[in-house]
Amino acid sequence: METVVDLKHVSKTYKVGEVDVPALKDITVDIKKGTFVSFIGPSGSGKTTLLNLIGALDTPSGGFLTITGSDPAKLKNKERAKFRGENIGFIFQDFNLISVLTVYENIEYPLLMVKETPSNKRKEIVESLLKKVDMFDHKDKYPSQLSGGQKQRIAVARALTTSPRIVLADEPTANLDHDTAYMVIDLMKKMRDESGVTFIFSTHDTKIVGEVDVIHTLEDGAIQKSEEVTHG
Amino acid sequence: MGNLIKIAFRNLSRQRRRTLLTVAIICVGVVAVLLFSAFSGAFKNMMIGQITDSMLGHLQIHKNGYVSSLDNLPLNKVISTKQMVKIGKILKDIPQVEAYSKRILMGGMLSNYMETTNIKVAGINPDDEAVVTPLLTSRIKNGKMLEKGTILLPELVTKGMGLKTGQDIVLVVNNADGSVNGQNLKISGIIESVVGPTGKYGYIHIDDAKTILRMTEPQYSEIAVRLKSIGSLEKVFVTISNKISDLKNKENKPVFEAHTWEKLSPFYNIAQMIDLMALFINVLLIAIVLISILNVMIMAVYERVKEIGTLAAIGTLPGKIRTMFLLEGLFLGFFGSLVGSIIGVIVIIAVKFGHFTIAFGRNENILLDPSIPFKQMLFITAIATFAAVIASLQPAIKASRMDPIESLRH
Ligand SMILES: Nc1ncnc2c1ncn2[C@@H]1O[C@H](COP(=O)(O)OP(=O)(O)OP(=O)(O)O)[C@@H](O)[C@H]1O
Ligand SMILES: [Mg+2]
């Protein structure tokens, strides 16, 4: 199977004043196309740092990292923004919907501002995604009128509008109650099944892993173990 | 772009009260500028009109050196009859010149056989003078326009000496050769004095002036010129100056000089001061726009750090984020100045048709005619909008350069 994310001996060290804070140490991981992957680890274990690297939001301090065949460290800021827009969908812990845009407009936003798409095509994509995340009836509402679970469903749809290669979700369920969290993980799984997009998410809650294919456990910036889950 | 405009609008309406307040501040600034420009312009034009139309004319021609010794009204620096013919021909050939009036100016003594006072008198041709200084006739409060054998006296003199229309006085003047001559004249009317150096002149008929000065052939102190439109003043002044400088004396030096009203009246400085104040008010407006927009945009960026981080993370290019904020500033500036312009124009029109009058100098009930050229209104709107964009520049650039990771953590 094709590798979409490839990390070789990747490290990341933050400098806080004179002190070096090692957030990631010698991470070697490869993630195959279309898999549903989770990084589990306690607070401060480096999940966000790792997802920021995979999401081309940040660059490693050491080692090699390729995402869909490109090395984001070689790109300038503006090119990295373009790269993210074309290849990566983001789901955030706090949902981060644009508050002044309606549900429909939030999903449409990347098609207008990031990956310019003709209007008839836009409508088609947005409406089909709205149906898939079961939010079509709420399309004219504003984010403030939605529950947390509903917001995150919209965020899942938004992450998929531009047909990215990878969708990254940093603790997408941390602000949701248990049932809603499961629902969101299930939705991501379902979207993965339908689209074949690689889904990578992080969580500190070992109970909310759901039906993932691969679980990487992080501790103190290093991968403790990696296990493939075989679904019966 | 359409989407950026939509987002900018939505963001403005999100903070409705703040947006309205900012628009209102800019609006008030624009109204202030428009009203000041319109009213100061009206006042200035009225003032210029009063000065040029009641005594000076638009420009004047003298023998070289006359203006610098104007206080003495020298009778040896005059324009001879022969020279006057040449100058008259020059003036007739300039199409923008409406009319000109020859004047003989003199200083003398005025006596009612009991009291005596100093007075400066202009010998004029009443018909010519009525065209060149059309307000002169309207200045006559009591009595009628000049005829031969009569004198128009300024109010200040008649009040002081208790003179009435119809009374006889004697005017005594020094001639060019130093001898003294006097003449009896009847007061044909009393004229309102006008602020300015020549505002307290008396007027006699030019033929009487020739007689009293014992001139064998007329010699003129000044020629007052009226143009068809004051707008062509600069151009015509240059033309006249060039043409009269061709008239040279035996030493091959020019004999005549021309001056616009601006050089002859201290009110020109006031007019300039009004212009300077208008400029100052404009600068103030720009400062108001800059500060209020900068303030609002800094707040807007600060409030939306996380949202900016989200937009950047999902791949929005920095340029688009910048444009989004610039548009917000632009709309604030534009709508503020648009509403301000509309209000300003309504007030100006109301005043125009309300026929408000003011007093200026000795003249009361001068109709105020404020107006603002459409071009100037556009200019003010454009300046305010431009200032708004400039003020948004720094916050917008800051937003576009934010690191998405940092912003998302906010
Ligand atoms: N910008 C930064 N500057 C300095 N240190 C940082 C920075 N970001 C993260 N760290 C440190 O790096 C380590 C890993 O942080 P990271 O946020 O990746 O952990 P995490 O697993 O996402 O934790 P959490 O579950 O709390 O989100 C921590 O020790 C953290 O304090
Ligand atoms: Mg984290």
Pairing of strands A198-203, A166-170: parallel
Pairing of strands B202-205, B116-124: parallel
Start-to-end CA distance of chain A, whole Å, equals 21
Please state the atom number of ligand 1 nearest to the C-alpha of residue A16: 4
> Does ligand 1 come within 6 angstroms of the Cβ of A203?
no
Find chain A residues with C-beta within 8 A of B3's C-beta: 109, 112-113
Average pLDDT across chain A, whole number: 92
Q: What is the pTM of this model?
A: 0.80
Tell me the mean pLDDT in the region A59-83.
Answer: 93
CB-CB contact of B123 with B105 (8 Å): yes
> Does ligand 1 come within 6 angstroms of the Cβ of A99?
no
Find chain A residues with C-beta within 8 A of B407's C-beta: none
pLDDT under 70: residue ranges of chain B: 195-197, 358-367
Q: What are phi and psi of B266, to 5 degrees?
A: -65, -15
Tell me the mean pLDDT in the region A20-43.
Answer: 94
Q: Considering every ligand atom, which ligand is closest to the CA of A92?
A: 2
ipTM for the assembly: 0.93
For residue B218, the CA-to-ligand 2 centroid distance in Å is 104
Residue of the CA atom closest to atom 6 of ligand 1:
A14
Confidence (pLDDT) at B287: 93
Please state the atom number of ligand 1 nearest to the C-alpha of residue A42: 25
pLDDT tens-digit readout, B347-384: 988 888 877 776 665 555 666 778 888 888 899 999 99
For residue A201, the CA-to-ligand 2 centroid distance in Å is 11
Question: Ligand 1: which of A14, A170, A173, A216 to mutate, judged by most atoms within 8 Å of the beta carbon?
Answer: A14
Residue of the CA atom closest to atom 24 of ligand 1:
A43
Percentage of chain B beyond pLDDT 70 is 97
Confidence (pLDDT) at A116: 85
Question: What gap in Å lies between CA A23 and CA A39, rounded to an integer?
Answer: 15
Q: Helix, strand or coil for residue A117? A: coil
Residue of the CA atom closest to atom 31 of ligand 1:
A44
Give A6-29 as a DSSP string: EEEEEEEEEEETTEEEEEEEEEEE
> Does ligand 1 come within 6 angstroms of the Cβ of A49?
yes
